[in-house]
Amino acid sequence: MDERSERFLALSTALTGYGRVELLGTGMLAAYVAAVDEAGVLDELLAAYDHRAAATDILADPTLGPVARAVIVLWYCGTWVGTSTHDAPRVVSSDAYLAGLQWVAAGAHPVGARAQGYGAWAAPPEATA
């Protein structure tokens, strides 16, 4: 893994609340690094984090806060919402939809994407730790 991806992963763990292994397990790191890089904000975001700014400080920053929140949405929903109101949200890929942390957080499965098994909706959800 290259250095920028490693740094992005470290920042992402701080922003999402999920660990390194869980984020790597989505298989989306390279695509998400590319999406943020394509928006032209990756290096500035990583530089702030490299200077030991806490994730909460970055989120509170008027310039980098919207970028950090967009990164959170990216990991949870697989959608890059951009950094301004003029950016149109875009789904990074169909794989990003399937890998979204929203499903893990809700204890659910992507609608229409994974077989639940016969009668799955008749049982209450399992408790999450």
Q: What is the pLDDT of residue 14?
A: 95
Mean pLDDT of 62-82: 93
Burial of residue 98 (CB within 10 Å: 0-12, 13-18, 19+) is: middle
| In contact, 81 and 91? CB cutoff 8 Å | no
pTM of the entire structure? 0.84
Q: Does the pLDDT at position 84 exceed 70?
A: no
Any idea where the domains of the chain sit in the sequence?
3-122
Distance CA 23, CA 1 (A): 14
